[in-house]
Structure 1
Amino acid sequence: MHASPAPRSAAAIPLARLSGFYFAYYAALGAFTPYWSLYLQSRGMDVAAISVLMSLWYATRIVAPSTWTTAAAHSRNPIRWLWLGCALTVVSFLAFLLPLRFAGLFAAMCAFCFFYNAVMPQFEAITMSHLGDRSDRYGHVRVWGSIGFIAVVALYGVLIDRLGVATLPWLMLPLLLAMLLSSFGNRYAHLPEAAADAQPDAFRDRIRHPQAIAFFAAAFLAQVSFGPYYTFFSIYLDEHGYSASRLGLFWTVGVLAEIAVFFLSARIFRRWDAGRVLVLALLSAALRWLATALWPDSMPVMLLAQLTHALNFGAFFAAAMQLLVRFFPGRMNGHGQGVFYGLSSGVGGVAGALLAGQLWRFGGEAAFMASSVFALLAAAIAWHWLVRAGAHRG
């Protein structure tokens, strides 16, 4: 269930080019995630319309990653699919500069979210192809995405206060253009065109393996557990009397902690197996949601809970990349990335958001308690099949 990638020396890894793409991609996401709903509101959309439009972000994640990575895997020149995806992201985004009504915004969101969500799984495969047997250094590259995200969240908040939220598309456009330009500077590492692991039958055999199934199940449940957090956390804190500045503090602390883990990831994976790190990350998520449910009025407890984002997001994501390399080596990694993004962030994201909406009728505490249960179940699955069953490094 494992294969060792071809060794690559540290000098051969194009760290600057890889990091630059992550920085630009997540910088644009840092403008989109916190402020896009406010932009839609400025365009005259009501709450119902905004919820429908924003749900397209998760809905397109169900099909976009697997569609794009499959097309790239069967291409003689797969890097062109990255360039095409980035170019179509920019072209579709230009529609937001037009005075569109709901139907036009719906169509624009479908196209933009599809292409934007399509390119990152392919780029993850490109990154892992360069890292080879140094996949433990993934965090050193991916951390620049988190840095870009948090820098834009802070800077664009100030710019929007001064210029107005209606300017957001104009502010995002340079970030997306930077992503497009960065894509042209990247290539795959050498991969055999006729490698056996690129064949569809080989991928189907591997994805049916109990360890791979367990990994995807745990990833799905982990994303479901984040549903109340991504959908209602700011509202939850507002209900408990936290000011807007403290809301920003909570979100910032989480991303800063995530950055710290990415910097330390190489040391972490030299000492601990990715399966064990994944279990630890999921257990920390269970404790985080439990604390959020039980002690929302305690500032110290809530800050400590946010600091665990380093584990239940940063360490989880880094461990997931290690396991994807192990389960789906070589060109097949793109297929694995597509399934991972589509099932966890896509289906899991939609399911988590919908479930959070239903549970919120019983109160935020009930929703976060349910999140804790989902994370604990994911940890149990990962422990049984990825640790006890003898998962080991490739």
Structure 2
Amino acid sequence: MSEPLPSANTERPASPTAREIPYIALSSFYFAYYAALGAFTPYWSLYLQSRGMDVAAISVLMSLWYATRIVAPSTWTTLAAHSPKPIRWLRIGCALTLLSFTAFLLPMGFTGLFAAMCAFCFAYNAVMPQFEAITMSHLDERSDRYGRIRVWGSIGFIAVVSLYGVLIDRLGVATLPWLMLPLLAGLLLSSFGNRYAHLPADSADAQPIAFRTRLRHPQVIAFFAAAFLAQISFGPYYTFFSIYLAEHGYSASMLGMFWTVGVLAEIAVFFLASRIFRRWDAGKVLMFALLSAALRWSATALWPDQVAVMLLAQLTHALNFGAFFAAAMQLLVRFFPGRMNGHGQGIFYGLSSGVGGVAGALIAGQLWRFGGQTPFLAAAGFALLGALIAWYWLVRHPQAGHRF
């Protein structure tokens, strides 16, 4: 059995009270960020299709969303950690996000779209890991309150995905960049209303031995492996779900309804997060989230024409995204406490969402040639493998994880 991890610095600020946590400022950033994502994720592949891109080109362009996550989070958290005023990097990232997105208003072919996607996705992906660390600096050990803040991201997502489905049906998907500009402007505005609760004396680099030891611990490796496989399993969903259902006769407003149902269920989980984690360990929640994902992708592959089945599958988004993400944040606090959390967040986004996202999008693109159901069946297999890893390392041996 591996040796327990070194103890984290026990000198931590007192628990913040509800009044000391800037719920509105923090929530506004999540709202704006995920509102823009609510326009981008369900409809961007349809927008690229309207620009004349085929399935292969779309899979490459959408993979850039995940490819930039490999380097953007760690780059931004490192720049912020070495800056005397790290909040500036959040605002710079939001400004670059808005500026780079304006390129999509120009007429471009594949090369131009590739360059624009690289710039926009890098800037957009850079800011959220830093902001997660900002949020955790306000919560400290009361990380169970995270769901009450993060839920506003889901509310922003659902508001936009439902509204924009109707607008796209009426105005055409070519108007999507214009519709997204106000959302990204709101993100920039919110960044000026947020700041760290307290600045760490130094970064995780000041504890290199402890930090690297944690990265090598079996429970940490298992967590990142499970997160990596979870993101691969979402590849077909984020890349081709809208196209897949459109091929089965669903309208854009119907697609928006499916996405809305999933996020509504996710919102319920974020509201109940505190109760969930008081009753169940985060490792067990992570495992069940991955099992639910395996069932979801199987149903999506086998019964796409059954509206009731598809609605039920979307409801499981509460588990395989909402519960998974909330559990991941709990485990990141456990594995990388205090000033290590920003770097832990960067690794989480870079490895799971970054490398896993690229792999998921590219694998989905390659499997699409064998029929739309094939990538979703493969996704079910990846999710099941992740659940087995979580069961063995995070559930079967939970006592090892609690020595963090």
TM-score (norm 1): 0.91
Q: Equivalent residue for 2:338?
A: 330
> Residue in 1 aligned with 2:264?
256
Corresponding residue for 1:176?
Answer: 184
Q: 1:54 aligns with which of 55, 62, 77?
A: 62
2:237 matches 1:202: no
Q: Does 1:18 align with 2:26?
A: yes
| Structure 1 position 150 matched with structure 2 position 178 | no
- Label 1:50 to 1:288 Cα distance change in 2 as closer, same or farther (>3 A): closer
AA at the equivalent of 2:183: L
Whole-angstrom distance in 1 between the partners of 2:19 and 2:329:
21
Distance change (3 Å), C-alpha of 1:234 and 1:35? closer
What is the identity, as a one-letter code, of the residue corresponding to 1:199? Q
Counterpart in the other structure of 1:83 = 91
The equivalent residue for 1:309 is: 317
**Paired residue for 2:78?**
70
Answer yes or no: is 1:392 the counterpart of 2:399.
Answer: no
The normalised TM-score by structure 2 is 0.89
> Are 1:253 and 1:303, in contact at CA under 8 Å, matched by a contact in 2?
yes
Aligned-partner residue type, residue 106 of structure 1: F
Distance in 2 between residues matched to 1:11 and 1:271, nearest whole Å: 26
> Cα offset for 1:320?
0.3
What SS does structure 2 have at the residue aligned with 1:66?
Answer: helix
Moved more, 249-258 or 193-202: 193-202
In 2: Cα distance, 1:111 partner to 1:241 partner: 34
In the other structure, the counterpart of 2:289 is: 281
How many residues are aligned here? 394
Q: Does residue 97 of the first structure (1) align with residue 139 of the second (2)?
A: no
Aligned to 1:353: 361
8 Å contact from structure 2 (residues 262, 317) kept in 1: yes
Q: Would the alpha carbon gap of residues 105 and 357 (structure 1) be closer, same or farther in structure 2, given more than 3 Å must change? A: closer
RMSD: 2.4
Deviations 1:357-386 (CA, angstroms, capped at 9, x unpaired) = 333344344433322221121111112212
Deviation of the 1:18 alpha carbon: 0.4
The 1:190/1:277 distance shift into structure 2, 3 A limit, reads same
Instruction: Kindly provide the amino acid, as one letter, of the partner of residue 313 in structure 1.
Output: F
Q: 1:225 to 1:354 in 2, by over 3 A?
A: same
Question: Quick one: distance in 2 between partners of 1:50 and 1:366?
Answer: 17
| Percentage of identical aligned residues | 82
- The answer for the alignment partner of 1:379 in structure 2 is 387
> Quick one: structure 1 residues 393 and 157, their matched pair in 2 at CA, closer, same or farther if it must change by over 3 Å?
farther
Structure 1 residue runs of 5 or longer lacking an equivalent are none
Structure 1 residue identity aligned to 2:327: A
- Report how far residue 21 of structure 1 moved: 0.3
2:202–2:339 Cα contact (<8 Å) kept: no
Change (3 A) 1:198 1:11: farther
Amino acid at match of 1:105: L
How many Å apart are 1:240 and its aligned residue?
4.7
Q: Is the 8 A contact 2:32 2:156 kept in 1?
A: yes
Give the match for residue 363 of structure 1.
371
Quick one: structure 1 residues 35 and 369, their matched pair in 2 at CA, closer, same or farther if it must change by over 3 Å?
A: closer
SS of 1:133 mapped into structure 2: coil
